[in-house]
Structure 1
């Protein structure tokens, strides 16, 4: 299918859009579509595309554009001697189909068949998606065509209104005609139709006012009087001419062939004419909802009462009208939103059915019961009764519908409401928000998602040059922020008259300038969306004109207890469980401090009659009323609840109005502090996976609780939350998540651990460190944390995982710390997890500080055994990883690979992205050293992807270093240098892990310089390696440095120094240099130059150097000169 009634579009058979390219190519396609099936000369195409002054070489340019278009539409564009032809059926183009259908509709109207005309004209007008040629209206050919097509569109709309008036749909046409008159104030035919619709609705005085408005407009604008036709309508209204309300023709439902209508247009005397019904006219396109419409059709074929339920603004009314239009029989629409009292419901149904009360004579006895009259009228009549907006009169509707369905066997009812009717035989059809595309979707695929398509179509209607491709990110942010709610999306798109899509997105996601003063917290201000989305259609119901009106309508229908729970659950972020709601949302006459953390101002929650035992029933009621959604997300143990963000923002406003925000934030923190406190020790046991899943489901709540405690200045509770969360962040590889709140918390605390919270303070410093590239940014906090750890003997009591996190930041234990650790290993009262961890710490000390790989392996194996008993997958993976590194350096490649694969098998189920990245990096390093550069490249590229997801620049840097090493191995030195320089830019300094990575990158750059024959540049890189990395903290990195420096010595003619440096590497590593391309060359060349005996002697001298002599050997860069 092809379209120009809107932006130029091509759709595949599955409905997906075809990417067409730039505006010139779209304009070329539009020109060909206007003459679909016919040959178009090059001259006409050039005139249409370039105007009267085409550029030089225009013929070649045209041929190039046609060739590119043929690549998009293969086998559709034909070359002919006279020009080009788009080989398609003209009816496959929306503009040609529109013209055919509107012409047939006009003929049917002239032939006295308004029912057929209405169906044809409705179908024609629904082909329009916005202004014609919206994306190419600047092309020279476009303006004439736009004017022509728009005139046809207005004429078709007038013809359709004429047909609908003939069918007796006066009342339903008023709103649509007012909108058309506003858009085209000088169209006298539309003015006359509006007057007739008003008169036929019993609103004679408004019809006369409409005439006066028309007369004034014509006089002011044109200096003319109304024409004869409009004047004749005026005279007929004054006289009350019956010709203004002719006998109604049969209503033909949408989807029914006009030629199959069986109802008589001229009822006989013996059978009074039954009223015929017209569904409300829709002036905009209908987007998506195929699945819901199919379900409704199936439900109506199997049952007799279908109820569409969903939140306000979800589009229930529009879907009901579309479903009724597709229904294979008569359908009557009853609008209930305007009723102020349930007693008016029977009269509204009676009126919609055309059962007027005017014939009841005064004094003839009591008037018949309207429900009795409706029941009698529908007793044997097949009809779909559409009851729209039942929620505020749901009790009365339930009683009436129950009776009608019991007494009228041919009746079916389609109701729209925000809560079920709750009667036997009811089938519910939930109406969810429109589907949203996943992150990373391109603009072509995004249009296949209804939320984006709706925004785009409404955007083009108000801003014809709108292009989704240019504003895709902003549009996705808008649609997501608005939960995919159709009404909210339409209101947002309407703002494009005066704002850009990015500006709208910013307004919907603005961060408070003073978040600590915000009742809602940073993020979307609770009133921002409601203020922004406050200008809807003038013809809409008042409650549908603004987003706030939609939610106010639901709020007004709640009991006080329901309102209390709704506003209180807005304190949750990302959903909640029943247990959490019972703990947080029940009434509190006092509000205790959170775990003695302080910060309460003494206020509690209002008394609203909400006991903890009532919360379940109240939440069930809010679910029924479509304000809360019950669901079972992946990873959750049971049912959870959530709200659309719009409802949550509204609830937060109401919470603030009730003065309950501070109390609820504290209650929320209290609950999640208890949860994470219970979880932390279990994260180090066999229940690890279960508790990781449980915390992951509540990740938003946990982070929000921490952020709010920081914002509210409750430092004690914030530290108590952050400390156990550190273990969760460590295991999931999302350590950056706590960096921002941790830095803010340190600013509040100052560089000193609060009393009784020393370990929590150190964990806060380490969490903040994840967000900085240099520990100097944390100033005195780092020194204070180091003092705390020293006072603890580097062995924390309450948070054993602190030992790991500290070592990751500060490096392997020093010799003194290692000695302290060894003294505690035999403590019988120590936690088994902590004992296993201490074995790991001892292993690192033996390996990195002392270079004793045998003792290191023994300690690592003891730690692994302890973790196996406990079932801690993450800790087992870390122990296996370091054992794999030892096996690798000892030349046992097979064992190294087996250990590393087992480690990967443990971290993958944890979702520990950063750990997976590090393990893959090491596997890639082994592959590269063994000569399998393809396998190495694949692993490194996977690490780049994982690091991006984890927000881990240090892992990203090591992946780019690895890719640079692969390029160097292939002789691609320029690419290798670029990748390593990129890695250097991504690396940080000041923390042990960052310093190690940076040193390895500098070594890599130096080796590239050596390969390029530039020893001076290599020496410059070596000089930048921190001296601490060479001796005091990291033996393996120093060993790599020594091996690389041996290469520089060989380059400068110093084979004896190269042999000595290889001996130094042996001591630092605790094992012989592992085989590989670099080590094979560095080892072979000095042997060849010196001879085996002289090489062995020099190597032995290197092995025997003291620590001080080793420092000299590694930093005397001029020794070989």
Structure 2
């Protein structure tokens, strides 16, 4: 007979039939006898359990006679298959432990744990799963609430949880991390203080490229332990946290697109171009449209060793934002989370990020921007010795050192093989007639794109019909010509031939689709093209659209022809307007979610639509569609700033302001102000608009805020204060913003709390400032929003560090680090690492050194010279502490060269760098040099206006500067 207590109490005969046990009293009696089968259980203990199961707290435990009666009934129910013996003052059930599910479970759990320790994760997982499968519900369910059953039930539940952890451990070892995450999350929710579960979830998330999510789990557990137990994480969990923080997370370059079909006839060229790139740093694939340059570049990139970044330039029409486009493709930002003005332009960031980095940069479809691409490529290659560039263009870039590889049409066998391959994709039973196939390919000049377009027509035409009709339709090209312009005409004629075979609805949908810069989701395409899904499918079948991954795309050659047809039909303005309004609706729908926990998923949605936003704004500005342009800019502003890409649309914002004048259009005052802020975030040319329109924008926002209106652009509140923080009218602005703390929009309220806290901070009221920042952190956290939370955590960590609680400052900085990583804000990630190093430098210099070194690496990869300078300053401080004056001098000087003297957030680092150089000079006996450096530090602090309402020494202390630095700088004030 077998017994079960891992759930309700049950018994089964050898044939598997369940034994009817009777009521709850009998089941409770059997359960207590099975806790330790074969051992004597005191009658008093059994009576307590039976009494509780019988429901009678009032009735009390049964008498000895009543208990004996229940034992007798249980014997009868078991039918002699199991023996219950009276022994002394109690009873025992004669059964082996392996015949009870709990005993079998414990045996399997022990064996699984042993296998795990021996390194056999597969066997461990199998054993543990077998054991855990024995559970049917809570342990000892029939007596778990009674005094005799409570402790054994708790023991079994703890063993079950440990076995689950062991099973997860085994699954992580064999790579099943993704499947483990949901169950681990659910378990941690039920056991929020169980550190091993937290560690397992952190490891599972990290293995699935979720470093940031793993760090957030640590922070949640750390906070719960502090709040509920008044303690911190264990050494093991803290060590795992440090390991994850030090892991090599970095911006991810855009990978080459995944080919949808096999490459035919180019294997030798792939090897040839790869070999050419081994010795040449700039290779350009040239040739007419449709010859296969892009596809060849994709295959070369896929075969390359090391990092690759693929940049599609076909949709880019504004050469001014070419550097920003490369930044986006490299996974980099133009600026950090704090949005302060940064004189380091996009090209400077690219040079910093790529210097010393081995990377193949593929620039696809350069012909319409050939001069601008040539200039950027030349500058990057000159500054970055390990960079290689592979370009595709219809003409050479004309850069010194450029190696050209002309991409020619396929040879006859390859062309025929390509036609046959694509024909079989649409007609599985296709049997090629070699003569007919050769005739078709010759008429198409063996151009791959032309062959694909024509082969797709075999769905409705026979090969004989194609071979008979095609040469006549393509007679615009002299038979046999091999000139490049002739091939252009061949391809154009092929596209035109394919176009003429479309139905009227298909032609209409195709020409309307040409307004999309880089493709569209199916729903968006249906709306703008005013068509149905069947028509889109038909265009895809005919190779005029590529439909995959939920998005539709059109090759640039076909899109150019379709755009001509759109213009000829007189529909360009109507369809462009429909495109712009559809994009506007999408970004408007997304904007509220950017301030909630769904922020990351909506950032990804808008990232896919970014080329469409740029195209829509460019059209609206050029077409004088002022209202649409302003609404688009205002709706997408939050996305741009959170992603650090506000400069991408700064030229368009400046151009729009030039056309508008200095008065907001009626009803669009907020949108106008956001447009001014966007212009201010760009290069010097667009920043001029900031000075000309700032006063008008300020009045517009004041009108909105003073009236207590809800506002359509919540981000404007934070942005306006950041752009005006250093101005003389800041106190008045603080008062105005302070009034927004009680607005119904929770994000606006949190942002107002954050901004308002800097008022008392400037007055030296640290307690009030800390209260405000803690409130802001709490409100942002409650929303699940990462941008505002990271900003507020950073400020709070600095303030807590100033008052001496370095442990709390480190914990706050750790959380800010995790959020910065989630947002891809690698410059800020480096900045926060430097801050953490500064908090650790006096108590744990080894950890501080690791922070500074990691910050230097992150800053370098992010292309941020200012963050790199801060990391070098930290390393210089440590070198000076170690007595290595030569290294300290070198690092301080490197930091000073990279620092932006106008960057407010970098002021503390600049002062510390100058003070460090003074200390080096002093240590070398150069008293005059030391005084000169201290005076420079004092002048930098004074000139910055860092302390408008407090003494300069107090302001320096608020920056987190060490007391020794504050004292020396203050002593040299004039």
TM-score normalized by the length of structure 2: 0.49
Q: What TM-score comes out, normalization by structure 1 length?
A: 0.43
Q: Which has the higher contact order (CA 8 A, sep 6+)?
A: 2
Larger radius of gyration: 1
